Amino acid sequence: MNEELSSVDLRSARIELRPDGVLHIDIKLDQVFEIEDSIAIIEARTKLVNGKRTPIVYTCTEFVIPSKEVREFVASEKRSELVIADAFVVNSLPQKLVANLFIKINKPVRPTKVFSNFDEACEWAKTFIPML
């Protein structure tokens, strides 16, 4: 973990490494989430955790929807190098539908689950943190 930094603010998201080891990414956009946003987040989170693998919990505004390109990239092996598991907290029916379709169609290469409650998502994500 990067001792000097526990969070990063980007145009598209706030990224925080929680004390429990879960990385929380809060998407600040209120529109379509594009691949450029996803790449910027990956670069920032990689620096924040110093290349350590972590589970991630995503939250966002109720109106943001990832583009098709982002959904394909997030499901890929390349994006998953530092990700143990993904938990998505959804706020609306359209987000829930997109998230469930993402899991069924894109078939992410790591454990992925959709939640409506942030605390439940964090508890699930923590189960993937390796015991030291």
Say what the pTM is: 0.84
Looking at residue 4, its pLDDT comes to: 57
Q: Which residues contact 126 (CB under 8 A, 6 or more apart)?
A: 20, 21, 22, 55
Cβ(87)–Cβ(60) below 8 Å: no
Cβ(13)–Cβ(25) below 8 Å: yes
Residue whose token pair is 């994500």: 125
Report d(CA 6, CA 14) in Å as an integer: 11
Report d(CA 84, CA 52) in Å as an integer: 10
Q: Is the dihedral of CA 109, 66, 72, 10 positive or negative?
A: negative
Domains of the chain, start order: 7-126 (3.30.750.24)
List the chain pLDDT tens, one digit each, 132 residues.
444 569 999 988 999 999 999 999 998 877 677 788 888 888 899 899 988 889 999 998 877 777 778 777 777 777 667 889 999 999 888 888 888 888 898 888 889 999 999 999 999 999 999 753
